[in-house]
Amino acid sequence: MKRLLATILFLVLFLSFTSCYIEIKANNPTPVSIVTETGQSISPIDPGWKAPGVNSSAPVLPDIADVVEKSYRSVVTITTEQVVNDIFSRQITQSGAGSGWVLDRKGIIVTNNHVIENANKVVIQFADGRTFETNPANIFRDPTTDLAIIKVDVPNLEPLPVGDSSKLRVGDWVVAIGNPLGKGIKAKEGIISGLKVSLSVNEEEESLFDLIETSAAINPGNSGGPLLNMKGEVIGITSAKIASVGVEGMGYAISINSALPILQELINKGYVTRPFLGVELYTVNDYIAYNYGLSKNRGAIITYVQPGSPAARAGLKRFDIIVNFKGQEINTAPELLRILRNSQIGEEVNITYIRGKSTFTTTAKLATSPPPK
């Protein structure tokens, strides 16, 4: 009896282990091998896999050609002439090229200040071939923001719609239309690569703020042209480009939201009024401090004081270094300019400055900025 029970127990255990082995083998089948014509054996990942079907319901991307076709006739080329002296002090005529776009059907053209600044002759050509030489009295400029408008008496103009630059996202598609290299109206596509960018545009520390950075090619002659979203709306005004060795794909445009108040004031009054101190500034650094024997290596050094200005009345002089303005520490000239632009006309401001090795504090009452010359 005991021998019978032992035999039964052995059979039960044997069948249990055999069942587990068979189950394991069933869950892990041997991969199917394919033998090629050369006799090579290949084990594919999944012989039963099928490729997914073509997705016919994917959203259609915006058509850049539609944007260009819709906007092309509202963009203009601007040709300028300027009398300058050559290296032998002989007067020669120098030509320039830029772009612009129609803001209002009554004949208001938007461009950059640097496109028409100091020009003796400004000629606008429209997409339909019409050419118009502007009257200097109908050009209104704002050098601080590099914006300008030109009033022309040309009928049947089609203005470009204006978008909302505050809704832009990095990666959005944009199109720049302009007159690159003076070769006529061209279009270049790109994306938004940066927002709220600040850029110093010259050695006098003038800076542009709230710029849109784009990968769309911005070449000489594009300045003043529109940067468009995929609805064909102007969301920026192309203005500057970093053009140094090893740097590409960094074009810049003034955001339309920051430009519109300036354009409004140029149209309403002919120039933009701002708080005015009456100084020209430069950032102090180690190099400037060493070469001019300055006692400070930071701050905003005054390079010019306009006679009769609030700065002159406050006793400020050339080579004074402003280190504090309205209670805020100043390390660079753009810092001071930004605070000044956000101040109020008629506001009294405290200024701390260094003259020689001594520190002084004075008060200036900000005036209204004069029209550009």
* CB proximity list for 144: less than 8 A, separation 6 or greater: 206, 272, 274, 341
Which two tokens mark 79?
């040709």
* CB proximity list for 288: less than 8 A, separation 6 or greater: 282, 294, 297, 301
* Beta pairing partners, 329: 324
> How many whole angstroms separate alpha carbon 82 and alpha carbon 117?
9
Which two tokens mark 126?
């429209």
> How many whole angstroms separate alpha carbon 296 and alpha carbon 284?
8
Active-site residue among 71, 74, 114, 239? 114
Instruction: Please confirm, yes or no, whether 114 is among the known catalytic residues.
Output: yes
User: Cβ(318)–Cβ(302) under 8 Å?
Assistant: yes
What are the backbone dihedrals phi and psi of residue 311, each rounded to the nearest 5 degrees, phi first?
-65, -40
Is residue 216 helix, strand or coil?
coil
> How many whole angstroms separate alpha carbon 202 and alpha carbon 306?
20
**Cα within 13 Å of Cα(234), Cβ side:** 31
Residue 157 gets which letter from DSSP? -
User: Cβ(275)–Cβ(369) under 8 Å?
Assistant: yes
User: Cβ(229)–Cβ(249) under 8 Å?
Assistant: no
Active-site residue among 223, 239, 255, 309? 223
> How many whole angstroms separate alpha carbon 67 and alpha carbon 230?
6
Which two tokens mark 227?
């940067």
> How many whole angstroms separate alpha carbon 340 and alpha carbon 325?
9
Q: Length of the chain, please?
A: 373
Instruction: Please confirm, yes or no, whether 63 is among the known catalytic residues.
Output: no
Single-letter amino acid, residue 293:
G
Number of C-beta neighbours around residue 64 at 10 A: 16
> How many whole angstroms separate alpha carbon 117 and alpha carbon 144?
12
Instruction: Please confirm, yes or no, whether 146 is among the known catalytic residues.
Output: yes
Active-site residue among 146, 193, 239, 320? 146
> Among 271, 5, 224, which residue's Cα sits nearest to residue 122?
224
Q: Which residues are catalytic?
A: 114, 146, 223
